[in-house]
Amino acid sequence: MKPFRISRRTLLRGLGASLALPSLEIMGGTARAAAGSAPVRLLSLFQPNGVYPKAWDVTDLASGGFELSPTLSPLKGLMGDFSVLSGLDNTGRGHVQLTGAFLTGLPITGKTNGVSLDQQVAQKIGHLTPLPSIELGTEPPRQGNASGEPIAYANTVSWSTATTRMSPEINPQVAFDRLFRSHSGPEAVRRAENRRSVIDLVLEDAKALRARASGPDQQKIDEYLEAVRGVEVRVEKTLNPPERDWMPPSKPGEADMERPGPGIPKRRDEHLRLMMDLMVLAFWTDTTRVGTLMTAHGFSRQNFSFLPGVTSDHHGMSHHKNKPEAIAEYTKVSTWYVEQFAYLLGKMKSIDEGDGTLLDHSVVLYGCGMKDGNGHIKDDLPLVVAGRGGGRLKQGQHLISAKG
């Protein structure tokens, strides 16, 4: 009897919802994996305001390899999965230009920039997936000027043309719906009136598929649906959060902590990790193979008073003037961001894709558009690249770019 097979583009469907599936044996995944044709993804993460160099720079060891710096210490358990890049420079000046040029490497002239790295890749492979690319973030766009430059250039790192910015979505509910719910027609109306779980909506379709799947595929389907539901539950909590989750600053001189807007998680780590989990789901289901995630706005003044000993806003502490107390705060915030990055890599590494993990089949770039925020230093950017790119990258290295 001819084995039962489904297309890689098969969706679990229900009234007002559709879920793409992860790679399964029933799709002929074993043969595809043997041929080494698992899709390779590109994810670029941007951290604002730079880092304190002495707390970021790694130490090369005589025996080979390198010793992690304090800021990069959260990556200790992932040493074989990433490399540190040194000696790469940006172009431009100030937070605004150095954010806009992060993935283009081109100076912003007037109202023009260039096509960013992610969008160049999306233009080549975006037709292979339902979404050519996805852009996520955690802070809303801003207007106005900074040192004579439009702050709007710091709203995104993704440019589809020299004049077209790809705005990041910061609302987890909107991002979730874009991935898993219908957006037009009577189904969308009924869905808006009754926000049932997407898992409930596609359950009958899932049961029918599961009944014809192998044991390993059944387990993978169960794990996937559980992961989607887990993210959905966390997204729902942002719509009706407990009031006690947010409090205004109570200490004199403490930087203001803006109350998040509707649907935005009150806790900064929960917001960022939700967006990371949504990106992972988008890659896992091959909904897209290209993504950018702005961990915060390029001119971010976010408050980090939830970290012990931190009272300044992020942009303010980046201009530390070599004061020890400001440097200590600056380093704590940079380390916090790397902790979130480690969380993302751990998630990607936990997803088995047959001949490797989701992380093995990805290239993940993490870094800032400047080195030390104190002087808007554009040289020797703080950068990390993780994942093996489908076997194309060797990790665990400190790679130093030759000048010239």
- Contact present, 312 and 248 (Cβ < 8 Å): no
β-pairing verdict for 134-137 and 290-294? parallel
**pLDDT of 226 over the 70 cut:** yes
| Phi and psi angles of residue 273, each rounded to the nearest 5 degrees, phi first | -70, -30
Q: Which CATH number covers residue 270?
A: 3.40.720
Distance CA 85, CA 109 (A): 27
Is 301 domain-assigned?
A: yes
Is 187 domain-assigned?
A: no
pLDDT of residue 248: 45
Is 392 domain-assigned?
A: yes
**Three-class SS of residue 313?**
strand
Domain hosting 293: range is: 38-172+246-400
pLDDT of residue 183: 52
- The predicted-structure confidence for 124-143, as pLDDT tens digits, reads as follows 999 999 999 999 999 999 98
Is 196 domain-assigned?
A: no
Confidence class for position 310, pLDDT limits 50, 70, 90: very high
- The predicted-structure confidence for 54-92, as pLDDT tens digits, reads as follows 999 999 998 888 999 999 999 999 999 999 999 999 999
Is 116 domain-assigned?
A: yes
Distance CA 310, CA 72 (A): 19
Distance CA 305, CA 85 (A): 30
Is 85 domain-assigned?
A: yes
Is 182 domain-assigned?
A: no
Is 370 domain-assigned?
A: yes
pLDDT of residue 148: 76
Number of separate domains in the chain: 1
Confidence class for position 244, pLDDT limits 50, 70, 90: very low
Q: Can you give the pTM of this predicted structure?
A: 0.90
- The predicted-structure confidence for 169-196, as pLDDT tens digits, reads as follows 999 999 999 998 865 445 554 554 456 7
